[in-house]
Amino acid sequence: MRGDENCLQADVLVVGGGTGGTAAAIQAARRGAKTILVSEFPWLGGMLTAAGVSAPDGNELAAFQTGIWGAFLRELHDRQPHGLDHAWVSFFTYEPRIGAAIFADWVRQLPNLHWISYQIPLEVKKQGDRIVGVRFADFTVDATLTLDGTELGDLLALAEVSYRWGWEWKTEWGEPSAPVQANELTNQFPVQAPTWIVVLQEFEADEAPEILAPPTDNPDRFIGTWEGYAGYEELSFFNYGRLPGNRFMLNWPHHGNDYGVGLNRLIQSESKRREFLQEAYWHSQSFARFLQTQLGRRYGLAETLFPQQVDRLGGGAFALHPYYRESRRLRGLVTVREQDILPLPGGRVARLPIDEQGRSEAIALGNYANDHHYPDVAFSVQPKSIRWGGRYTGTPFALPYRCLIPADVDGLLVCEKNSSVSHVANGATRLQPIVLGMGQAAGMAAALCVEYGCQPRDLPVEMVQAALLEDPIAPMAIVPLFNLLPHHPDWLPWQCYYLNDPSTYPADGYCSLATSPRQTISMGQTTQAFVGIFERRGEQDYRFTLTEPIAAHPSFSLVTLDPDIDRSLQGCITGELIRVLGKLNRSGNWLLVDYLWKEQTQ
């Protein structure tokens, strides 16, 4: 891949080793493209690893555990001996270093993928309206296709590609939740607040080292942080992000460590960005100190969790960089709006995105609820949550290929939170699993463009879809269907059927198919058998009271990620004696059900 000493040559250049960039580089290389991945940090994976969000949200249902996302979950299950179901915010929590090791191993397995770390882009090379490479401090990369996988869309700014930053008003697209005009909220928070994640460790005998006060320590900001979250266990809010080994990820929005002061500084200049980052870091340090002060030296910093960084913030108990919820957002060929991710009237899924020929141009799916973070300020959006499997989840939606393609330049794709979406819709499209999916789709599209000698705007979307669905290593679902599991023999035909004829896509998200042998991803804990009495407390709200209580906890919620178990739970009757095989999560006070059957009574 090398040209002269300071210039590298590649088919595909991915700038940024975050969630989407890592997936894009891996997928492009697996497809056969000579790929260079340039990252700022020593860990790949972004939100999932370096930013410390090792409790991912969305795409949790078994039918949506596909592609690189599904492969990542299976690798986590194999590598983390104590399982993944520890917290109550997510079914999947893990040590960040394990996630980083998975991505690094996948990269090392690909001889045509060259990864360079500790570099940031300085200049974008262009020929007319086409991007042809990027200059870094120590070298330049010339590439046929370049992908912007940076956390804040930095390549868009360097290349002077049109982008959005901040809010759009209701007059722009008629989004139900968009404000009519600027107001106090939009002026104070132009984008969603980032969080510099810090992880606490539980120590024995209250011997945790003291957490020092930062220069901006102000504990009054955190008063009331766990108000309303003291549950059946002491300070259950801590279990929000419980990790293995009695560690606790602090990514807490309620009087917590979200930081949103002067957010425009993130894109004003390098010095202004450093200023913001220092303040956000101190804010999280102050939050950790507040918790230790309130709760005692039982809790301290998990000092060895992240690699130490020289001459930069982060490392130790602190993530390597903030968890950015919003970026510069591309002005693409298509913009995803709030109404594009909301369920159909009377339905449980959003309409599939459709091109001018009436075919679906979907390339990635998500199902997260629309969640916006503005510290201690509420912002109401149109609801898109449903109850499924005994709990709340988000209604599924799919993203169109053209939201990854710039309207005004060639040679570039985006693959992160910088896709062409509105500010309001970003609250649902920013989550880790769907960004992995966007990255996988962008990487596949880039490799196909190299194969066929075309630009992304000229690449037929059906070629991208077919390649993703039939990928030999990590085939990815594109059409959201609750009951179509990836191992089902009719999985591929049903995916293709709805892509070709999206007008037949069912509003309830269920296709008609014969049952097939079940195959679920275990979360890793030892499955246990429980016998108890079933109680239906409401729609998709199930209680299970044990005939032989465990310690002081005689009852739990029943939840599932599997469509067959979901159907079985819906058929249970209050008062029935049932037997459950599953895994107990004390943080969420639930049983994650793998199998269920009714007991015979005399």
- Tell me: the pLDDT tens digits for 306-323? 999 888 999 999 999 999
Three-state secondary structure of 5-32: CCEEEEEEEEECCCHHHHHHHHHHHHCC
Residues 6+ apart with CB under 8 A from 330: 153, 156, 161, 162, 163, 164, 403, 404, 406, 414, 418, 419, 420
Query: Does residue 232 carry a pLDDT above 50?
Result: no
Fold of domain 528-598? OB fold (Dihydrolipoamide Acetyltransferase, E2P) (2.40.50)
Going by pLDDT thresholds of 50, 70 and 90, the confidence category of residue 1 is: very low
pLDDT at res. 391: 95
**Interior angle at CA 325, CA 437 and CA 151, nearest 5:** 70
Out of 95-109, 381-395, 489-503, 537-551, which region has the weakest mean confidence (pLDDT)?
537-551
The answer to whether domain 7-165+325-504 and domain 528-598 are alike in fold is no
Residue-wise pLDDT for 366-417, tens only, equals 999 999 999 988 899 999 999 999 999 999 999 999 999 999 999 999 999 9
Which CATH number applies to 7-165+325-504: 2.60.40.1840, 3.40.50.2300, 3.50.50.60, 3.30.930.10? 3.50.50.60
Going by pLDDT thresholds of 50, 70 and 90, the confidence category of residue 521 is: very low
Residue-wise pLDDT for 120-153, tens only, equals 999 999 999 999 999 999 999 999 999 999 999 9
Is 313:319 a contact under the CB 8 Å cutoff?
no
pTM here is 0.95
pLDDT at res. 480: 97
- Distance between start and end Cα atoms, the chain: 74
More confident residue, 1 or 20: 20
Domain boundary assignment for the chain? 7-165+325-504, 198-301, 528-598
Is 136:119 a contact under the CB 8 Å cutoff?
yes
The kind and range of the H/E element at 340 are: helix 338-341
- Segment of 3-7, 155-159, 519-523 carrying the highest mean pLDDT: 155-159
Going by pLDDT thresholds of 50, 70 and 90, the confidence category of residue 487 is: very high
Rounded Cα distance, 82 and 20, in Å: 27
**Interior angle at CA 510, CA 504 and CA 511, nearest 5:** 60
Helices assigned H by DSSP within 350-393: none
- Residues β-bridged to residue 531: 579
Rounded Cα distance, 174 and 266, in Å: 28
Query: Does residue 519 carry a pLDDT above 50?
Result: no
Q: What is the mean pLDDT of the chain?
A: 93
Rounded Cα distance, 168 and 186, in Å: 10
The secondary structure of 482-518 as a DSSP string is TT--TTSTTHHHHHHHHHH-GGG--TTS---------
For the four alpha carbons of 568, 574, 577 and 579, in that order, the dihedral sign comes to positive
For the four alpha carbons of 528, 529, 535 and 541, in that order, the dihedral sign comes to positive
Rounded Cα distance, 433 and 461, in Å: 21
Q: Which of 271, 260, 382 is nearest to 324 (CA)?
A: 260
Query: Does residue 234 carry a pLDDT above 60?
Result: no
Q: Which of 225, 477, 473 is nearest to 363 (CA)?
A: 477
Query: Does residue 520 carry a pLDDT above 90?
Result: no
Percent of the chain with pLDDT over 90: 86
Query: Does residue 552 carry a pLDDT above 70?
Result: no
Mean pLDDT, residues 439-464 taken together: 98
Residue-wise pLDDT for 245-271, tens only, equals 999 999 998 899 999 999 999 999 999
More confident residue, 552 or 187: 187
